[in-house]
Amino acid sequence: LCQKSRQLPGPVHIGSLVITFADKASYMDRAGELTALLAESEGRDQVMIVCTAENIYKQLPPNENIEVTDELLKAIGKAIPEALLKIM
């Protein structure tokens, strides 16, 4: 996570998944698990990870795009309940 922003970078296209963590430490604790869950999906939807406390975000590269499905959202929600998920 390297970029600081007062708001999400634009434009975030329709079909983006924004995953918000309270802080960077929470994200880092779950990064491996999240990466494994996202790796199971391939598609055209972008993924952005946001850490609220530090006001930073990370947009995953296009080769890590996913397909946002109900199953994927449920899997992330079950494995990482502290993460807030938003589909844009």
Do the strands 17-21 and 84-87 form a parallel or antiparallel pair, or are they unpaired? antiparallel
**Distance from C-alpha of 18 to C-alpha of 16, rounded to nearest angstrom:** 6
Average pLDDT rounded to a whole number, residues 4-20: 65
**Distance from C-alpha of 45 to C-alpha of 67, rounded to nearest angstrom:** 6
pTM of the model: 0.83
Query: 16: how many CB neighbours lie within 10 A of its CB?
Result: 19
Average pLDDT rounded to a whole number, residues 66-87: 95
**Distance from C-alpha of 43 to C-alpha of 57, rounded to nearest angstrom:** 21
Average pLDDT value over all residues in the chain: 88
**Distance from C-alpha of 54 to C-alpha of 7, rounded to nearest angstrom:** 12
Write out the two tokens for 79.
Answer: 């494995």
